[in-house]
Structure 1
Amino acid sequence: MEFQEPEQTGVCVYSKSNCKYCDMVKDLLTKRGFEYKVINCDEYILDYKELFKEFIDFHASCDTAGFPKVFNNGSFIGSYNATKDFLDLILFAEEDDA
């Protein structure tokens, strides 16, 4: 099985069905005006759960848990809370530059 790699430009969200935090992170990104690519992982976790975890952990350079798994420009941000913190820092930096 070949898994889709994180996008090297922009935001990439690894998501699954019926995931409250996946929906929340997509809503947050939309509200903040970010374009993003969604990779649905239902098939990955149904048929290849362990291989997919190894794949994501490799690209994240750490042990990951839960969904969503968010990357920006190929670098792992984290799940919902880490993504919210990341976006808050970007907003703060933009306000500071103004």
Structure 2
Amino acid sequence: MIVAFSVSPSGADSVDADGGMSEAVAAAVRVVRASGVTHQTTAMFTYLEGDWDEVMAVVRDATDAVAALAPRVSLVLKADIRPGFDGQLAAKVERIESHLR
């Protein structure tokens, strides 16, 4: 299973001094990195790969980390559920790259 998720704080109390949300987002990314789940973080989403329970636990914990810093939280989640396939976070990209060579 691959999950793409984005969690962000809402509310005036959650905005950094520079007008961004990087402190709260960093709290979520810290949870992801500590989880041991295969992951990739981009400017817009974090991707996780693993089984349902471990991936959803990381999403929950990352959301809770943001919620600790903000009065309201927004969560966007997209999942590719394909039992029996592992290593697809990298393999999907490699298949595209092979067509571009």
TM-score (norm 1): 0.31
Report which of the two structures shows the higher radius of gyration computed on alpha carbons.
Answer: 2
User: Which structure has the higher relative contact order (CA within 8 Å, separation 6+)?
Assistant: 2
